[in-house]
Amino acid sequence: MFEKVKVDENEYVRVPRDELFRVVKDVFMAMNVPEEDAEIVAENLVMADLRGVESHGVQRLKRYVDGIKAGGVKINPNIKVVKESPVYAVLDGDEALGQVVAYRAMRMAIEKAKKNGIGIVGVKNSNHYGIAGYYAYKMAKEGLVGMSLTTSRPLVAPTGAMEKFVGTNPIALGAPVEGEEPFLLDMATSVVPSGKIEVYRRKDKPVPEGWGISTENGEIITDPHVILSPKGTILPLGGLGELHGGHKGYGLGVLVDILSGVLMGATWSRHVGGTSDKHSDVGHFFMAIDPGAFGDAEEFKKNMKKMKEELHNAKKHPNFERIWVHGEKGHLTAQTRLEIGIPIYRKVFNEINEIAKEVGVEPLKE
Protein backbone atom coordinates (compact mmCIF):
# COMPACT_ATOMS: atom_id res chain seq x y z
CA MET A 1 0.00 0.00 0.00
CA PHE A 2 3.00 2.21 0.15
CA GLU A 3 4.40 2.28 -3.37
CA LYS A 4 3.84 5.18 -5.67
CA VAL A 5 1.13 4.21 -8.09
CA LYS A 6 1.89 4.99 -11.71
CA VAL A 7 -0.74 4.23 -14.29
CA ASP A 8 -0.13 3.96 -18.03
CA GLU A 9 -3.60 4.78 -19.34
CA ASN A 10 -3.07 2.80 -22.56
CA GLU A 11 -2.65 -0.42 -20.67
CA TYR A 12 -5.69 0.04 -18.50
CA VAL A 13 -9.42 0.58 -18.64
CA ARG A 14 -10.90 2.90 -15.98
CA VAL A 15 -13.89 1.32 -14.25
CA PRO A 16 -16.08 3.10 -11.67
CA ARG A 17 -15.71 1.55 -8.22
CA ASP A 18 -19.37 0.63 -7.86
CA GLU A 19 -19.47 -0.99 -11.29
CA LEU A 20 -16.44 -3.11 -10.46
CA PHE A 21 -18.00 -4.10 -7.15
CA ARG A 22 -21.24 -4.95 -8.97
CA VAL A 23 -19.68 -7.29 -11.49
CA VAL A 24 -17.54 -9.12 -8.90
CA LYS A 25 -20.46 -9.54 -6.53
CA ASP A 26 -22.72 -10.74 -9.33
CA VAL A 27 -20.16 -13.27 -10.55
CA PHE A 28 -19.92 -14.81 -7.08
CA MET A 29 -23.70 -14.81 -6.71
CA ALA A 30 -24.06 -16.46 -10.11
CA MET A 31 -21.79 -19.18 -8.72
CA ASN A 32 -24.27 -19.66 -5.87
CA VAL A 33 -22.28 -17.78 -3.23
CA PRO A 34 -24.83 -16.26 -0.79
CA GLU A 35 -25.34 -12.52 -1.37
CA GLU A 36 -23.88 -11.41 1.96
CA ASP A 37 -20.73 -13.45 1.33
CA ALA A 38 -20.43 -12.25 -2.26
CA GLU A 39 -20.53 -8.67 -0.98
CA ILE A 40 -17.72 -9.29 1.50
CA VAL A 41 -15.44 -10.83 -1.11
CA ALA A 42 -16.26 -8.13 -3.66
CA GLU A 43 -15.63 -5.34 -1.14
CA ASN A 44 -12.31 -6.90 -0.15
CA LEU A 45 -11.05 -7.37 -3.72
CA VAL A 46 -12.23 -3.94 -4.87
CA MET A 47 -10.69 -2.25 -1.83
CA ALA A 48 -7.30 -3.62 -2.91
CA ASP A 49 -7.69 -2.11 -6.39
CA LEU A 50 -9.06 1.10 -4.95
CA ARG A 51 -6.01 1.57 -2.74
CA GLY A 52 -3.49 0.63 -5.43
CA VAL A 53 -2.74 -2.97 -4.44
CA GLU A 54 -3.83 -4.48 -7.74
CA SER A 55 -1.99 -7.75 -7.06
CA HIS A 56 -4.63 -8.55 -4.45
CA GLY A 57 -7.56 -7.07 -6.32
CA VAL A 58 -9.97 -8.23 -9.00
CA GLN A 59 -7.14 -9.75 -11.04
CA ARG A 60 -7.53 -12.65 -8.62
CA LEU A 61 -11.16 -13.20 -9.56
CA LYS A 62 -10.26 -15.95 -12.00
CA ARG A 63 -8.28 -17.81 -9.34
CA TYR A 64 -11.20 -17.58 -6.95
CA VAL A 65 -13.64 -18.78 -9.59
CA ASP A 66 -11.29 -21.62 -10.53
CA GLY A 67 -10.95 -22.52 -6.85
CA ILE A 68 -14.72 -22.81 -6.50
CA LYS A 69 -14.97 -24.83 -9.71
CA ALA A 70 -12.17 -27.18 -8.64
CA GLY A 71 -13.89 -27.76 -5.29
CA GLY A 72 -10.96 -26.37 -3.28
CA VAL A 73 -13.20 -23.55 -2.07
CA LYS A 74 -16.64 -24.28 -0.63
CA ILE A 75 -19.42 -21.77 -1.29
CA ASN A 76 -21.69 -23.12 1.45
CA PRO A 77 -19.15 -24.06 4.10
CA ASN A 78 -20.02 -25.36 7.51
CA ILE A 79 -17.98 -22.86 9.51
CA LYS A 80 -17.59 -24.02 13.10
CA VAL A 81 -16.47 -22.29 16.27
CA VAL A 82 -14.09 -24.89 17.70
CA LYS A 83 -12.87 -22.88 20.71
CA GLU A 84 -14.38 -19.85 22.37
CA SER A 85 -14.08 -17.65 25.42
CA PRO A 86 -15.14 -14.03 26.04
CA VAL A 87 -11.78 -12.90 24.62
CA TYR A 88 -10.72 -15.46 22.04
CA ALA A 89 -12.01 -18.00 19.56
CA VAL A 90 -10.84 -20.37 16.85
CA LEU A 91 -12.95 -21.01 13.77
CA ASP A 92 -12.72 -23.96 11.44
CA GLY A 93 -13.34 -22.41 8.03
CA ASP A 94 -14.30 -25.68 6.32
CA GLU A 95 -12.49 -24.44 3.19
CA ALA A 96 -14.69 -21.38 2.83
CA LEU A 97 -13.74 -18.41 0.70
CA GLY A 98 -11.02 -16.87 2.87
CA GLN A 99 -12.74 -13.49 3.08
CA VAL A 100 -16.01 -15.02 4.27
CA VAL A 101 -14.64 -16.82 7.30
CA ALA A 102 -12.02 -14.11 7.93
CA TYR A 103 -14.73 -11.44 8.02
CA ARG A 104 -16.69 -13.45 10.56
CA ALA A 105 -13.59 -13.99 12.70
CA MET A 106 -12.75 -10.29 12.51
CA ARG A 107 -16.30 -9.35 13.58
CA MET A 108 -15.98 -11.69 16.55
CA ALA A 109 -12.64 -10.11 17.51
CA ILE A 110 -14.25 -6.66 17.31
CA GLU A 111 -17.19 -7.66 19.49
CA LYS A 112 -14.99 -9.31 22.09
CA ALA A 113 -12.66 -6.30 22.21
CA LYS A 114 -15.58 -3.90 22.61
CA LYS A 115 -16.96 -5.96 25.48
CA ASN A 116 -13.80 -7.19 27.16
CA GLY A 117 -10.95 -5.02 25.94
CA ILE A 118 -9.26 -7.69 23.80
CA GLY A 119 -10.35 -10.12 21.14
CA ILE A 120 -8.08 -12.64 19.44
CA VAL A 121 -9.79 -14.84 16.89
CA GLY A 122 -8.01 -17.33 14.66
CA VAL A 123 -9.07 -19.39 11.68
CA LYS A 124 -7.90 -22.72 10.30
CA ASN A 125 -8.92 -24.53 7.10
CA SER A 126 -9.35 -21.28 5.23
CA ASN A 127 -8.28 -19.95 1.85
CA HIS A 128 -6.64 -16.77 0.55
CA TYR A 129 -8.28 -13.86 2.42
CA GLY A 130 -7.27 -10.94 0.19
CA ILE A 131 -5.35 -7.98 1.59
CA ALA A 132 -4.46 -8.25 5.25
CA GLY A 133 -5.03 -4.52 5.58
CA TYR A 134 -8.76 -4.84 4.82
CA TYR A 135 -9.38 -6.38 8.24
CA ALA A 136 -6.97 -4.13 10.15
CA TYR A 137 -8.64 -1.12 8.51
CA LYS A 138 -12.14 -2.28 9.48
CA MET A 139 -11.05 -2.80 13.09
CA ALA A 140 -9.46 0.65 13.18
CA LYS A 141 -12.65 2.18 11.76
CA GLU A 142 -14.41 0.71 14.81
CA GLY A 143 -12.03 2.62 17.06
CA LEU A 144 -9.84 -0.38 17.84
CA VAL A 145 -6.20 -1.23 17.28
CA GLY A 146 -6.46 -4.13 14.85
CA MET A 147 -3.90 -6.68 13.79
CA SER A 148 -4.35 -9.08 10.89
CA LEU A 149 -1.92 -11.86 9.97
CA THR A 150 -2.21 -14.77 7.57
CA THR A 151 -0.19 -17.70 6.34
CA SER A 152 0.28 -17.89 2.59
CA ARG A 153 1.73 -20.26 0.05
CA PRO A 154 5.53 -20.71 0.04
CA LEU A 155 7.39 -18.09 -1.99
CA VAL A 156 10.28 -16.91 0.20
CA ALA A 157 13.65 -18.47 1.05
CA PRO A 158 14.66 -18.62 4.73
CA THR A 159 18.10 -17.17 5.46
CA GLY A 160 20.69 -19.77 4.49
CA ALA A 161 18.33 -21.59 2.13
CA MET A 162 17.52 -21.32 -1.57
CA GLU A 163 14.02 -22.65 -1.83
CA LYS A 164 10.50 -21.24 -1.88
CA PHE A 165 9.63 -22.12 1.69
CA VAL A 166 7.97 -19.48 3.85
CA GLY A 167 4.96 -17.44 2.68
CA THR A 168 5.10 -13.71 2.03
CA ASN A 169 3.09 -13.80 5.29
CA PRO A 170 1.79 -10.25 5.76
CA ILE A 171 1.54 -8.19 8.94
CA ALA A 172 -1.16 -5.53 9.04
CA LEU A 173 -1.85 -3.10 11.86
CA GLY A 174 -4.56 -0.48 11.89
CA ALA A 175 -5.17 2.22 14.51
CA PRO A 176 -7.70 5.06 14.70
CA VAL A 177 -6.49 8.66 14.33
CA GLU A 178 -8.48 11.69 15.47
CA GLY A 179 -10.37 13.25 12.58
CA GLU A 180 -8.44 11.28 9.96
CA GLU A 181 -8.33 7.97 8.19
CA PRO A 182 -6.70 5.20 10.27
CA PHE A 183 -3.00 4.50 10.45
CA LEU A 184 -2.64 1.38 8.32
CA LEU A 185 0.51 -0.68 7.99
CA ASP A 186 0.06 -3.59 5.57
CA MET A 187 3.30 -5.28 4.59
CA ALA A 188 4.54 -8.56 3.25
CA THR A 189 7.42 -9.89 5.34
CA SER A 190 9.32 -10.56 2.11
CA VAL A 191 11.49 -7.84 0.57
CA VAL A 192 8.63 -7.27 -1.91
CA PRO A 193 5.25 -8.91 -2.33
CA SER A 194 5.02 -11.30 -5.28
CA GLY A 195 2.56 -8.92 -6.95
CA LYS A 196 5.34 -6.36 -7.32
CA ILE A 197 7.44 -8.88 -9.23
CA GLU A 198 4.43 -9.80 -11.36
CA VAL A 199 4.28 -6.17 -12.53
CA TYR A 200 7.89 -6.42 -13.77
CA ARG A 201 7.13 -9.77 -15.39
CA ARG A 202 4.22 -8.27 -17.27
CA LYS A 203 6.46 -5.49 -18.54
CA ASP A 204 9.31 -7.93 -19.15
CA LYS A 205 11.73 -5.77 -17.19
CA PRO A 206 14.46 -6.90 -14.79
CA VAL A 207 13.70 -6.35 -11.08
CA PRO A 208 16.20 -4.52 -8.84
CA GLU A 209 19.03 -6.63 -7.44
CA GLY A 210 18.24 -8.05 -4.02
CA TRP A 211 14.67 -9.15 -4.57
CA GLY A 212 15.26 -12.72 -5.65
CA ILE A 213 17.76 -15.55 -5.98
CA SER A 214 18.14 -18.66 -8.07
CA THR A 215 17.04 -21.90 -6.42
CA GLU A 216 19.75 -23.69 -8.40
CA ASN A 217 22.87 -21.84 -7.25
CA GLY A 218 21.63 -19.19 -4.81
CA GLU A 219 22.86 -16.28 -6.90
CA ILE A 220 21.06 -12.95 -7.05
CA ILE A 221 18.87 -12.88 -10.16
CA THR A 222 16.79 -10.10 -11.68
CA ASP A 223 14.62 -11.94 -14.23
CA PRO A 224 11.05 -11.74 -12.87
CA HIS A 225 10.03 -14.77 -14.96
CA VAL A 226 12.68 -16.90 -13.24
CA ILE A 227 12.05 -15.54 -9.73
CA LEU A 228 8.38 -16.47 -10.02
CA SER A 229 9.17 -19.89 -11.54
CA PRO A 230 10.40 -22.94 -9.58
CA LYS A 231 13.94 -21.88 -10.57
CA GLY A 232 13.81 -18.78 -8.39
CA THR A 233 12.61 -17.53 -5.04
CA ILE A 234 11.86 -14.19 -3.35
CA LEU A 235 14.12 -13.04 -0.52
CA PRO A 236 12.86 -12.05 2.94
CA LEU A 237 12.74 -8.39 4.03
CA GLY A 238 16.38 -7.50 4.68
CA GLY A 239 17.59 -9.48 1.66
CA LEU A 240 20.18 -12.25 1.30
CA GLY A 241 22.04 -13.30 4.44
CA GLU A 242 22.26 -11.39 7.69
CA LEU A 243 24.23 -8.31 6.66
CA HIS A 244 21.14 -6.16 6.12
CA GLY A 245 18.82 -8.15 8.35
CA GLY A 246 17.46 -10.87 6.05
CA HIS A 247 17.18 -13.11 9.12
CA LYS A 248 14.73 -10.56 10.54
CA GLY A 249 12.37 -10.71 7.57
CA TYR A 250 12.66 -14.50 7.68
CA GLY A 251 11.92 -14.42 11.41
CA LEU A 252 8.86 -12.21 10.91
CA GLY A 253 7.59 -14.67 8.31
CA VAL A 254 7.96 -17.47 10.86
CA LEU A 255 6.28 -15.30 13.53
CA VAL A 256 3.26 -15.03 11.22
CA ASP A 257 3.35 -18.80 10.59
CA ILE A 258 3.36 -19.43 14.35
CA LEU A 259 0.53 -17.05 15.27
CA SER A 260 -1.80 -17.60 12.32
CA GLY A 261 -0.76 -21.16 11.44
CA VAL A 262 0.60 -23.38 14.23
CA LEU A 263 -1.33 -21.66 17.07
CA MET A 264 -4.64 -21.95 15.22
CA GLY A 265 -4.18 -25.61 14.29
CA ALA A 266 -3.66 -24.65 10.65
CA THR A 267 -0.60 -25.63 8.68
CA TRP A 268 2.46 -23.46 7.98
CA SER A 269 5.10 -22.43 5.45
CA ARG A 270 5.65 -24.92 2.66
CA HIS A 271 2.45 -26.86 3.42
CA VAL A 272 0.14 -23.92 2.75
CA GLY A 273 -1.77 -24.39 -0.49
CA GLY A 274 -2.96 -21.95 -3.14
CA THR A 275 -6.53 -20.96 -3.96
CA SER A 276 -7.13 -23.79 -6.40
CA ASP A 277 -5.54 -26.55 -4.30
CA LYS A 278 -7.86 -29.18 -2.88
CA HIS A 279 -6.99 -28.31 0.70
CA SER A 280 -4.97 -25.14 1.18
CA ASP A 281 -5.53 -24.93 4.99
CA VAL A 282 -4.64 -21.25 5.23
CA GLY A 283 -4.65 -19.85 8.79
CA HIS A 284 -5.48 -16.32 9.97
CA PHE A 285 -4.94 -14.35 13.18
CA PHE A 286 -7.02 -11.31 14.13
CA MET A 287 -6.42 -9.25 17.22
CA ALA A 288 -8.56 -6.29 18.24
CA ILE A 289 -7.61 -4.13 21.23
CA ASP A 290 -9.79 -1.38 22.66
CA PRO A 291 -7.62 1.65 23.52
CA GLY A 292 -10.40 2.69 25.88
CA ALA A 293 -9.75 -0.40 28.00
CA PHE A 294 -6.02 0.33 28.32
CA GLY A 295 -6.40 4.08 28.73
CA ASP A 296 -8.48 6.89 27.30
CA ALA A 297 -9.81 6.23 23.78
CA GLU A 298 -9.95 9.92 22.81
CA GLU A 299 -6.48 10.53 24.16
CA PHE A 300 -5.23 7.59 22.09
CA LYS A 301 -6.65 9.04 18.88
CA LYS A 302 -5.28 12.49 19.70
CA ASN A 303 -1.84 11.04 20.33
CA MET A 304 -1.99 9.07 17.07
CA LYS A 305 -2.71 12.33 15.29
CA LYS A 306 0.14 14.04 17.10
CA MET A 307 2.50 11.21 16.20
CA LYS A 308 1.53 11.47 12.54
CA GLU A 309 2.05 15.24 12.53
CA GLU A 310 5.46 14.83 14.11
CA LEU A 311 6.46 12.25 11.51
CA HIS A 312 5.33 14.57 8.71
CA ASN A 313 7.47 17.33 10.18
CA ALA A 314 10.63 15.30 10.70
CA LYS A 315 13.73 16.64 8.92
CA LYS A 316 13.07 15.74 5.31
CA HIS A 317 15.56 13.84 3.16
CA PRO A 318 16.33 15.84 -0.03
CA ASN A 319 15.65 12.85 -2.31
CA PHE A 320 12.09 12.35 -1.10
CA GLU A 321 9.06 14.51 -1.78
CA ARG A 322 7.59 14.05 1.68
CA ILE A 323 7.46 11.75 4.68
CA TRP A 324 4.51 9.40 4.37
CA VAL A 325 2.78 7.71 7.24
CA HIS A 326 1.35 4.24 6.58
CA GLY A 327 -2.14 4.27 5.13
CA GLU A 328 -1.90 7.72 3.54
CA LYS A 329 -0.86 6.67 0.05
CA GLY A 330 -3.57 4.04 -0.11
CA HIS A 331 -6.17 6.50 1.05
CA LEU A 332 -5.14 9.20 -1.43
CA THR A 333 -5.14 6.64 -4.22
CA ALA A 334 -8.63 5.54 -3.20
CA GLN A 335 -9.90 9.14 -3.16
CA THR A 336 -8.67 9.70 -6.72
CA ARG A 337 -9.99 6.40 -7.98
CA LEU A 338 -13.41 6.97 -6.47
CA GLU A 339 -13.55 10.09 -8.63
CA ILE A 340 -12.02 8.99 -11.90
CA GLY A 341 -12.43 5.21 -11.75
CA ILE A 342 -10.15 2.30 -10.98
CA PRO A 343 -7.58 1.43 -13.65
CA ILE A 344 -8.00 -2.24 -14.55
CA TYR A 345 -5.29 -3.85 -16.64
CA ARG A 346 -6.83 -4.60 -20.05
CA LYS A 347 -6.05 -8.30 -19.86
CA VAL A 348 -7.76 -8.48 -16.48
CA PHE A 349 -10.69 -6.42 -17.77
CA ASN A 350 -11.19 -8.89 -20.62
CA GLU A 351 -10.78 -11.86 -18.30
CA ILE A 352 -13.45 -10.52 -15.92
CA ASN A 353 -15.83 -10.01 -18.81
CA GLU A 354 -15.22 -13.52 -20.10
CA ILE A 355 -16.04 -14.90 -16.66
CA ALA A 356 -19.11 -12.63 -16.46
CA LYS A 357 -20.41 -13.87 -19.80
CA GLU A 358 -19.70 -17.46 -18.88
CA VAL A 359 -21.81 -17.26 -15.72
CA GLY A 360 -24.48 -15.03 -17.27
CA VAL A 361 -23.65 -11.72 -15.61
CA GLU A 362 -23.77 -8.29 -17.28
CA PRO A 363 -20.14 -7.54 -18.24
CA LEU A 364 -18.22 -4.30 -17.61
CA LYS A 365 -18.64 -1.54 -20.19
CA GLU A 366 -15.57 0.13 -21.62
The answer to whether 208 contacts a second copy (rule: CB under 8 A) is yes
Nearer to a second copy, 67 or 251 (CB): 251
As measured in angstroms, the least distance from the Cβ of 32 to a second copy is 32
In angstroms, give the least distance from the CB of 66 to a second copy.
28
Residue among 67 and 122 whose Cβ is closer to a second copy: 122
Measured in degrees and rounded to the nearest 5, phi and psi for residue 74 equal -95, 135
Which residue in 300, 330, 344, 361 binds a second copy (CB under 8 A)?
300
- State yes or no: residue 318 binds a second copy (CB under 8 A): yes
Q: Would you give the end-to-end CA distance of the chain in angstroms?
A: 27
Q: How far is CA 80 from the centre of its chain?
A: 24
- Residue ranges in 211-230 that form contacts with a second copy under rule CB under 8 A: 211, 213, 215, 217-218
Which phi and psi angles does 124 have, rounded to 5°?
-120, 170
DSSP string over 218-238: --EE--HHHHTSTTEEEPBTT
Rounded to 10 degrees, the C-alpha dihedral 219/168/152/203 comes to: -70
Q: Return phi, psi of residue 199, to 5°.
A: -65, -45
Exactly one of 51, 56, 326, 337 binds a second copy (CB under 8 A); which one? 326
Indicate the residue among 72 and 261 with the shorter CB distance to a second copy: 261
Least Cβ distance, residue 237 to a second copy (angstroms) = 5
Q: Which CB atom, from 65 or from 109, has the smaller least distance to a second copy?
A: 109
Q: How far apart are CA 170 and CA 188, in angstroms?
A: 4
Relative orientation angle of helices 346-359 and 61-70, to the nearest 10 degrees: 40
Q: Scanning residues 5 to 44, which ones bind a second copy (CB under 8 A)?
A: none
Find the binding residues for a second copy in span 248-277 (CB under 8 A): 248-249, 251-252, 254-255, 257-259, 262-265, 268-270
- Our CB check for a second copy shows the closer of 128 and 164 to be 164
User: Whose Cβ is closer to a second copy: residue 27's or residue 144's?
Assistant: 144
| Binder of a second copy out of 126, 151, 152, 159 (CB under 8 A) | 159
**3-class state of residue 94 by DSSP:** coil
Instruction: For helices 61-70 and 17-30, give the axis angle rounded to 10 degrees.
Output: 10
Q: How far is the CB of 290 from a second copy (least distance, A)?
A: 9
179 binds a second copy (CB under 8 A): no
| Amino acid identity for residue 12 in this structure | Y
Cβ neighbors of 264 (< 8 A, separation 6 or more) are: 90, 122, 123, 124, 283, 284, 285
Return the range that interacts with a second copy (CB under 8 A); candidates 21-29, 37-45, 50-58, 81-89: 81-89
